[in-house]
Chains A and B, each alone.
Chain A
Amino acid sequence: MAQSHDQHQDNHHDGQHHAVPYSEHVRTLVALLFLTAITVVVSVFGAALSTLSVFTALFIATVKVVVVAYYFMHLKYEKKIYSGLVLLVGVLFVALSVLTALEYLNR
């Protein structure tokens, strides 16, 4: 695994790109559809557990977003700086949301 990663880095220097096999895209889609199905089922049948369903839905959505970014958007194969920047923007957004929510809750 480590070796194939190094090989890939070399390819990048030549301006060549590692083509992700179609089968990996299909597996990614299956995972995403499965997660979507869980969210809908939790929401439709777990409506009584309102607080639980909010956090579950947002958690599953975040898992889906990570899957899309990692596989479809090639973060898996990119230099680490791309993942680092995505994480930075994510943390920034969560920090802003939490600060806003805390302000509201402490009114």
Chain B
Amino acid sequence: MAHTGLVLPNSGHNRDAEANKFGMWLFLFTELLLFGGLFIVYMVYRMLNHEAFLLSSFELNVVLGTVNTTVLLVSSMTIAMSVSAIQMGQAKRSALLLWITFALAGVFLVIKYFEWSAKIHHGLFPGMDYYNNLPAGERLFFFLYYVMTGLHALHIIIGMVIIVFAIRQTNNGTLTAEKHSLTENAGLYWHLVDLIWIYLFPLFYLIH
């Protein structure tokens, strides 16, 4: 395409940190309503199958659930600190804190893996024998458990990918004290993942 010589007043490399952040928040609202719909499904089925849900919730490991809650809360703090660090111009420290967040996300997934595989080992997964012979209400509980914690785990994995991008851009100097929307948005996304777990944990593990 030939260069016309016409330069529009706004045709540079535009950057609007406020718009970046606002867009991220709007996206987070759609995420909240996605999980909100699932929470309403959970509420209705819980009302219809009160006893079965109580009984099934005892099958989940409260200790592992509590450990994972703690891991996520600590990771939320480390990524919040990482945002503070980049704002203060401490890029190295910011990248280190992102790595710690990434590692904690990994710990969460490993614990989740052991929880799921212990259930699956006993045939407690949709389509397996033990699951198929459960009463309808208990099947529902575990179906929702797998769908909701599974979707949450997917969000953890996506969050880890975003964190890796933020680490790379911090290390090569793209993200700086003046320009760090990616770190900030990675933080917002990560906190959302934490928020959802804050409700998932009592609803599945604790409410007996």
Contact = CB atoms under 8 A, between A and B. Distances in A.
Contacts, number: 114
A21 B80 CA distance: 10
Nearest to A36: B69
Interface string B186-204: 0110010011001101110
A28 B180 CA distance: 23
A57 B73 contact: no
B206 A85 contact: no
Contact of A40 (B66, B73, B81, B87): B66
A85 B84 contact: no
A68 B76 CA distance: 8
Contacts of A17: 17, 87, 180, 184
Interface residue range, chain A:
35 or more
B107 interface: no
A25 B208 contact: no
Among A19, A20, A36, A60, the one with the most B-chain Cβ atoms within 10 Å of its Cβ is A19
Contact of B36 (A16, A44, A93): A93
B198 A64 contact: yes
Contacts of A47: 208
Interface of A, helix, strand, loop or mixed by DSSP? helix
B42 to A, nearest CB: 10
A101 interface: yes
Nearest to A73: B191
A58 B202 contact: yes
Interface of B: 17-18, 25, 29, 32-33, 36, 39-40, 43-44, 47-48, 54, 62, 66, 69-70, 73-74, 76-77, 80-81, 83-85, 87-88, 178, 180, 184, 187-188, 191, 194-195, 198-199, 201-203, 206-208
21 contacts: A15-B178, A17-B17, A18-B87, A19-B84, A19-B88, A20-B83, A25-B77, A40-B66, A43-B62, A44-B206, A53-B207, A53-B208, A64-B198, A72-B187, A72-B191, A89-B33, A93-B32, A93-B39, A100-B43, A100-B44, A101-B43
